[in-house]
Amino acid sequence: MKKPLIITISFSFLLAMGIMAWSYVPTPEAIAPPLHVQAENEYEELLLQFGLGSKMAEYGVPGTSFAFIKNGELHWAKGYGVL
């Protein structure tokens, strides 16, 4: 008798957690990337020239990260939006 009760409680908990995670809708402020950003270095300048903010908005991407590696060493890394 205990086993069906434990299974029922476990299933109910997992179902509730799934519904809560699926129903999350971020606010527009959290989704919108900054469109006017001052570049701090040459790598960021490349991303701004590409139009990172407008591309993220166009494709509905809430967050992204970039890393530039040169000769096997990390030279620069940064995240944008909601990560």
In this prediction the pTM is 0.43
End-to-end Cα separation, the chain, in angstroms = 45
The residue among 8, 59, 3 whose CA lies nearest residue 33 is 59
Does residue 54 have a pLDDT over 60? Answer: yes
Rounded to whole angstroms, how far apart are CA atoms 9 and 68? 48
Backbone dihedral region of 4: left (phi > 0), alpha (psi from -120 to 50 degrees) or beta?
alpha
* Amino acid identity for residue 17 in this structure: M
Rounded to the nearest 10 degrees, the angle between the axes of helix 52-59 and helix 42-50 is 50
User: What does the pLDDT look like over 7-41, one tens digit per residue?
Assistant: 888 878 777 777 766 666 666 555 555 555 565 67
